[in-house]
A and B are shown apart, each in its own frame.
Chain A
Amino acid sequence: MTRAVHLSGVSKRFGATVALTGVDLTIADGEFIALIGPSGCGKTTLLRLLAGLETPSGGTVAIGDTSAREARVRQEIGIAFQRPALVPSRTALENVRLTLEICTRPEVLSPERLLRAFGLGDFMHYYPHQLSGGMQQRVNIACAMVHHPALLLLDEPFGALDELTREALWDWLAEVLAADRQTAVLVTHNVEEAVTLSDRVVVLSPRPGRIDRILSIDLPRPRADRIGAAFLAEVRRVREALYAVAKASTAPAVPAKPPAPAP
């Protein structure tokens, strides 16, 4: 399997604050990676480095055979945020077309066909305010995928949706990405979401942000049965890793009690 993304010794500082340090990670072509960790562990910073929206303070970020910045210039990245990035005065179809108005890549998908494949065939001429939250998010993801990017970045795309819509969209996205062997990186706070969608879960620890451990999710796809023993065992494994990281990060730097004086 070819290498889609490679991060080597990546660090990022904002003034005196170290947001990320010593991040080494390789993502294979067609692989789905979830970034999970407590607040302030640098998940979004890592995603912005992959998007070429930030430059690393140290180390290298490579997308395919080029830097993240160059990959951005070549329009090889698509991104979907938690809040749908849609223009209110454009219909769903016009919003997807907006990506192609910017993009000059030759191999792009048909916006109409993509929206139909996303179950929005009857809603492509609706304006964002006429769509439900789940539909808006599907349009948002269509906007990020229509130019056929080498790397799809998802920043908590389902975080603002209700439980049932969210679960339906997990299964929908897993199916969409599997059909296309799309390389993707997802930032999430939701353990079930990470287990449903990803091949590997990268657990980050905070202050400074770094990779604590990487867990492979060896469950057969599709993973729609989220109350089965195997799924719950994986959820438990990821949650335990997350708790361990959270516990370590909240442990006081100095002992709570002063050491007893020597007799």
Chain B
Amino acid sequence: MISLRSLLAYAVMLVSIPALWLLLVRFSHLPAVVLPPPDKVGAALWRDAPLLWDNTRVTVFEALLGYAWANALALALALMYLYFPISEAFLTPWMVVIKNVPFVTVASILLITLGDTLTPKIIVVVLVSFFPILANLVKGLGAADPVLLDRLKVLNASRWQLFAKVRWPAALPYYLAAHEIAFTGSIIGAIVAEWFFSRQGLGYLIVNATVEYRTDRLYAVTLIASLLAIAAYLLCKATEFWLFRWKTRPPA
């Protein structure tokens, strides 16, 4: 639940960032090419709006597509683990290996193998966001109340009914907790993938701005990427608040 205190904390942070930025610009005496003032970044945002918008759309599309794949795969695997427990024993070593191979090297291999196409970017996003979703889904589906399961088994509930009415509601808090990490991670994953191999997207703009010493654009992209990640996080929190509104609802 979002309390008044946490809203105030966010408001203080939003005011503090430009204030601290201005103070840093004023007292650090760093040149504008290293630390551009907020007004210069604002001008870059305004001037490059069409370019930034087009590339933001590309990044968001890749992040959402990769994220959808990560969710579908994690859900499929979690269900397989639940209903065919032997599969977990056999697949866990694979998961451990895939999770622990540095994805920077995987990204390089994908670049050589698949080139600048959509697939390697989606794979990177999936690699970043898949594991937290899988881990939380497995834990959540296993956290279903055994007493409640027995009560419904006595009523001869079908496997689907047990899933829909007991297992899934029990897994939901874990699933949403995973989104807080993984949804934000998918945007970061898409930017990193573009940073490696792309001619479009926010990651590409970062590389481009760095090479051309366009720090105003670099800061503008940072601002947009941060806002996207924060928006993803807040969307997760809002969904959680809406789904669990019964927890704070006063007695009828």
Q: Is the CB–CB distance between B150 and A87 below 8 Å? A: no
Q: CB of B9 within 8 A of chain A?
A: no
Can you show 29 pairs from A to B with CB atoms below 8 A apart?
Answer: A52-B154, A53-B150, A53-B153, A53-B154, A72-B155, A73-B156, A74-B156, A75-B156, A77-B154, A79-B150, A80-B151, A81-B147, A81-B151, A85-B151, A86-B148, A87-B165, A87-B169, A89-B244, A89-B246, A91-B252, A101-B161, A102-B156, A102-B161, A103-B155, A126-B251, A127-B249, A143-B151, A144-B151, A153-B154
Q: How far is the CB of B161 from chain A (nearest CB, A)?
A: 6
Per the CB 8 Å criterion, the residue count for chain A at the interface is 33
Cross-chain contact B151 with A101 (CB below 8 angstroms): no
Task: Tally B residues with Cβ within 8 Å of A.
Answer: 21
B25 within 8 A of A: no
Residues of B within 8 A of A102 (CB): 152, 155-157, 161, 165
> How many A-B Cβ pairs are below 8 Å?
64
Q: Kindly supply a per-residue 1/0 record for chain B positions 123-155, scoring 1 wherever the CB is within 8 Å of any chain A CB and 0 otherwise.
A: 000000000000000000000010110111111
Q: Does A148 contact B (CB under 8 A)?
A: no
Residues 110-133 (chain A) with a chain B CB within 8 angstroms: 123, 125-127, 129-130
Q: Does A200 contact B (CB under 8 A)?
A: no
* A201 contacts partner chain B, Cβ-Cβ < 8 Å: no
Which chain B residues lie closer than 8 Å to A53 at the CB level?
150, 153-154
Interface residues of B in 217-252 (CB under 8 A from A): 244, 246-247, 249, 251-252
Q: Which residue of B lies closest to A98 (CB)?
A: B165
What 0/1 readout, one digit per residue, does chain A (75-99) give for beta carbons within 8 Å of chain B? 1011111010111010100000011
Q: Which residues of B contact A125 (CB under 8 A)?
A: 251-252
Contact B251 A85 (CB under 8 A): no
Residue of B nearest to A89 (CB): B246
CB distance from A65 to the nearest CB of B (A): 18
Bound complex: CA A85 to CA B151 (Å) = 7
Q: How far is the CA of A242 from the CA of B62 in the complex (A)?
A: 70
B166 close to A (CB within 8 Å): yes
- Give the residues in chain B near A127, CB-CB below 8 Å: 246-247, 249
How far is A244 from B246 in the complex, measured between Cα atoms in Å? 51
A210 within 8 A of B: no
